């Protein structure tokens, strides 16, 4: 879950390109420079990495926090936990780059999925890991990824401008296979937040604290 399809690549696989990354970073704005430097210098081990990265994206976190203005689903009917970077095994060993919101009744099509932010629908349709998914890119360029949907809101199309609270579709159990595969896992929403889509999987951040924070308000 949580990985965008072809095109995304892991920074760890391209350590040879570290210099290139650093050069690029110089050309970027100061914000991104900091983020990438820390990412490139990260020591081995996810725990440390998680911490370092979290520091680097502190500024971005504020952006995300401000632009999230709605819940992704009916929070009463679902449950979630902090599972960021836990192990997942479909499609080879990989990490979990998001938060799963489980339908307490495990019934596909029951719970609505809403856009948490303002933005533009930039991805729609099937993807092997995410099933029927929606990607919304916010005005700040952060990518919000809603995966494993049961169905889409009528009329939703790529290029649509959405507001927080806009119905995107319904929670489901699609994905982990060819188009139309369902039932490989219990009904849930995989929510991903990617702060710098061009950097691939390294730039997914943990949605859990944002959800917690919103709920405790």
Partner 1 sequence: MKLTELFSTGKPVLSFEVFPPKTTDKMESVKKATEEIAALHPAFMSVTYGAGGGTSAYTVAVAKNIQETHGVSSLAHLTCVSSTREQIDHQLRLLSENGIENIMALRGDIPEGATAPEEWSFRHASELIAYIKTKGDFCIGGACYPEGHPESANQREDIANLKKKVDAGCDFLTTQMFFDNNILYNFLYKIREAGIRVPVAAGIMPVTNGRQIARICRISGNSLPPRFKQIIDRFADRPGAMKQAGVAFATEQIIDLLANGVEHVHVYSMNKPDVAAKIMDNLSKIL
DSSP string, 23-53: HHHHHS-HHHHHHHHHHHTPPSSHHHHHHHH
* Shortest separation between residue 1's beta carbon and Zn ion, angstroms: 3
**Interface residues for partner 1 in 17-56 (CB under 8 A)?**
none
The answer to the question of residue 1 lying near Zn ion (CB under 5 A) is yes
Which of 13, 81, 179, 198 lies at the binding interface for partner 1 (CB under 8 A)? 81
Q: Which stretch binds partner 1 (CB under 8 A): 10-18, 32-40, 61-69, 101-109?
A: 101-109
Which of 8, 17, 83, 182 lies at the binding interface for partner 1 (CB under 8 A)? 83
**Interface residues for Zn ion in 94-123 (CB under 5 A)?**
98, 100
* Shortest separation between residue 110's beta carbon and partner 1, angstroms: 7
**Token code pair at residue 73:** 């689903």
Spell out the residues 6+ positions from residue 17 whose beta carbon is closer than 8 angstroms to its own.
none
Using DSSP, state whether 188 is helix, strand or coil.
strand
**Interface residues for partner 1 in 157-196 (CB under 8 A)?**
185-188
Spell out the residues 6+ positions from residue 41 whose beta carbon is closer than 8 angstroms to its own.
52
Q: Which residues pair with 167 in a beta bridge?
A: 114
* Shortest separation between residue 182's beta carbon and Zn ion, angstroms: 15
Residue of 148, 119, 161 lying closest to 136 (CA atoms): 119
Sign of CA dihedral 7, 92, 145, 11: negative
Given Zn ion, partner 1, none, residue 99, with its beta carbon under 5 to 8 Å by kind, binds none
Please state, in angstroms and rounded to a whole number, the distance separating the CA atoms of residues 127 and 174: 10
Which of 190, 193, 200, 206 lies at the binding interface for Zn ion (CB under 5 A)? 190
Q: Which stretch binds partner 1 (CB under 8 A): 12-20, 73-81, 160-168, 201-209?
A: 73-81
The answer to the question of residue 82 lying near partner 1 (CB under 8 A) is no
């Amino acid at each position: 879950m949580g990985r965008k399809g072809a095109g995304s690549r892991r920074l760890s696989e391209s350590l040879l390109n570290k210099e290139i990354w650093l050069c690029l970073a110089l050309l970027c704005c100061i914000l991104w420079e900091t983020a990438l430097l820390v990412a490139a210098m990260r020591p081995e081990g996810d725990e440390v990495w998680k911490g370092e990265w979290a520091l680097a994206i502190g500024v971005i976190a504020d952006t995300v926090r401000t632009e999230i203005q709605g819940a992704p689903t009916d929070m009463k009917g679902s449950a979630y936990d902090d599972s960021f970077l836990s192990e997942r095994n479909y499609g080879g060993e990989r990490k979990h780059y998001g938060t799963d919101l489980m339908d307490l009744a495990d019934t596909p099509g029951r719970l609505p999925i809403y856009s948490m932010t303002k933005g533009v629908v930039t991805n729609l349709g099937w993807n092997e890991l995410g099933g029927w998914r929606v990607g919304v890119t916010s005005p700040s360029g952060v990518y919000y990824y809603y995966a494993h949907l049961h169905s889409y809101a009528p009329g939703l199309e790529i290029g649509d401008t959405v507001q927080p609270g806009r119905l995107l579709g319904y929670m489901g159990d699609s994905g982990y296979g060819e188009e139309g595969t369902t039932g490989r896992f219990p009904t849930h929403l995989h929510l991903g937040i990617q702060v710098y889509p061009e950097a691939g999987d390294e730039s997914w951040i943990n949605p859990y604290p944002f959800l917690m924070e919103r709920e405790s308000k």
